[in-house]
């Protein structure tokens, strides 16, 4: 037998005891994990502030458009019964029979776990979670019609983006006005084209909620190897990004329709994101949210992606078509059109200062084009002839010698 000096024997004994403790602890942690997993498999995700939901988990999706179909597909692929609330029973029957929508993405086959109905009681009465995917401008009227069928306390996940033209409110404001404040709300955003989601292409989004436990539950419920969900508490930041990016996409489409190159498109989108950030800081959003999936990320997808409705709308404007011609031949809603008008009114209401059009030239310029006050070409000329200045207003204090930028200060104080 090998003999070790006393000190070495003591060290070996210590290492043996330490290793034994680690192995024992690992076995204990594994048993706890197994027990936790078994418990989780037999209990549904928690419904915040209202106790656990009824088993099994069921999800209802309000809105049978492209994005409603996409999110219903995401949930159904998780083996969760999913009910789709659509406008009419004829569409519901076609969906249930053919597993395809007769109008939207009609070539895409939907999971068989999706059942469609036009009856709000059937769709909503036993829902554990409800996803709202009705366009922003139609949301208030829709919610007023179905609110009596939505059970108390059931959380709502909104996938709609925009600013209501009548109230200048975001979706968080509309939902609370219609459904009250006695339930939790969450908001999904990020670069996510409906067709790519249905085709199983890798997609990354963010869900924001003041109730972070609800955001975590929804992220776990929806996440898969093809659909990744991050979470946030910055609801206003996510909503601003989701609304403003559609207006920037209209401008990007006009830029392409005018036949301008990559230089112009890249510069336009970058300056548009700067305006988004400036508005976000004014309204209390975190700069990191604007720079994240719901802000810059969604803007890139909407401005450069071939499936973008807002970009396509702007492209046709840049080609010389009138608003009336485009609207008459469009089958889908380009949210940026109405959002643009509301956004300018919101800026005038929320932002202080003189000549706000110089701080938000792209957002104001798109609104003027949509109102018929200038052409896309005139809007481009106006942007290129703006007074020379620093790239960012927020950097003035840095150049004055303080060494700390206003934006840096704001990032640490928000």
Catalytic residue of the set 233, 245, 350, 373: 245
Handedness of CA 147, 153, 159, 162 (dihedral sign): positive
> Which candidate, 116, 167, 120, places its Cα nearest to that of 148?
120
252 CB-near residues (< 8 Å, 6+ apart): 265, 268, 269, 272, 302, 303, 304, 311, 314
Distance from first CA to last CA of the chain, Å, rounded?
Answer: 68
Task: Note the residue count of the chain.
Answer: 414
- Active-site residue flag, 245: yes
How would you list the strands of the sheet with 59-62, edge to edge?
114-117, 82-85, 59-62, 129-132, 156-158, 185-189, 203-208, 227-232
Q: E strands within 209-270?
A: 227-232
Q: What does the block give as tokens for 232?
A: 């946030």
Distance CA 316, CA 312 (A): 6
> Which candidate, 128, 122, 112, 123, places its Cα nearest to that of 218?
128
Tell me how many degrees the CA angle 127-128-134 measures, rounded to the nearest 5.
60
Q: Are 241 and 288 in contact (CB under 8 A)?
A: no
Alpha-carbon distance values, 243 to 137, 299, 336, 375 (Å): 12, 10, 7, 23
- Any bridge partners for residue 208, and if so which? 187, 232
Q: Are 194 and 167 in contact (CB under 8 A)?
A: no
The residues annotated as belonging to the active site are 245
């Amino acid at each position: 037998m090998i003999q070790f000096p006393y000190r070495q024997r003591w060290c070996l004994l210590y290492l043996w005891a330490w290793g034994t403790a680690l192995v024992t602890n690992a076995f204990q942690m594994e048993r706890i994990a197994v027990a936790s997993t078994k418990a989780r498999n037999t209990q549904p995700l928690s419904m915040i502030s209202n106790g656990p939901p009824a088993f099994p988990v069921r999800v209802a999706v309000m809105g049978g458009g492209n994005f409603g179909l996409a999110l219903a597909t995401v949930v159904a692929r998780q083996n969760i019964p999913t009910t789709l609330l659509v406008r009419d029973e004829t569409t519901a029957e076609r969906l249930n029979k053919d597993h395809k929508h007769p109008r939207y993405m009609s070539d895409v086959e939907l999971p068989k776990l999706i059942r469609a109905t036009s009856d709000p009681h059937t769709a909503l009465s036993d829902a554990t979670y409800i996803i709202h995917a009705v366009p922003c401008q139609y949301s208030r009227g829709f919610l007023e019609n179905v609110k009596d069928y939505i059970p108390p306390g059931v959380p709502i996940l909104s996938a709609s983006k925009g600013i209501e033209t009548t109230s200048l409110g975001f979706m968080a404001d509309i939902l609370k006005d219609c459904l009250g404040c006695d339930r939790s709300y969450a908001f999904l955003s990020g670069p996510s084209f409906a067709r790519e989601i249905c085709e199983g292409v890798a997609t990354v989004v963010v869900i924001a909620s003041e109730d972070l436990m609800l955001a975590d539950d929804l992220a776990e419920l929806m996440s898969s190897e093809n659909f990744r969900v991050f979470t946030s508490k910055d609801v206003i930041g996510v909503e601003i990004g989701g609304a403003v990016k559609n207006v920037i996409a209209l401008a990007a489409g006009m830029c392409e329709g005018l036949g301008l190159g990559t230089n112009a498109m890249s510069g336009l989108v970058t300056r548009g994101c700067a305006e988004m950030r400036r508005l976000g800081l004014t309204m209390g959003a975190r700069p990191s949210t604007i720079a994240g999936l719901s802000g810059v990320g969604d803007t890139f997808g909407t401005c450069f992606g071939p499936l973008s409705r807002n970009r396509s709308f702007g492209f046709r404007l840049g080609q010389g078509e009138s608003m009336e011609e485009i609207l008459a031949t469009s089958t889908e809603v380009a949210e940026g059109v109405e959002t643009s008008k509301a956004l300018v009114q919101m800026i005038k209401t929320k932002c202080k200062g003189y000549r706000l059009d110089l701080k938000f030239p792209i957002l104001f310029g798109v609104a003027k084009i949509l109102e018929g006050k200038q052409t896309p070409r005139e809007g481009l000329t106006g942007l290129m002839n703006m007074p020379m200045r620093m790239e960012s207003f927020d950097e003035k204090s840095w150049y004055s010698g303080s060494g700390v930028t206003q934006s840096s200060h704001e990032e640490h104080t928000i």
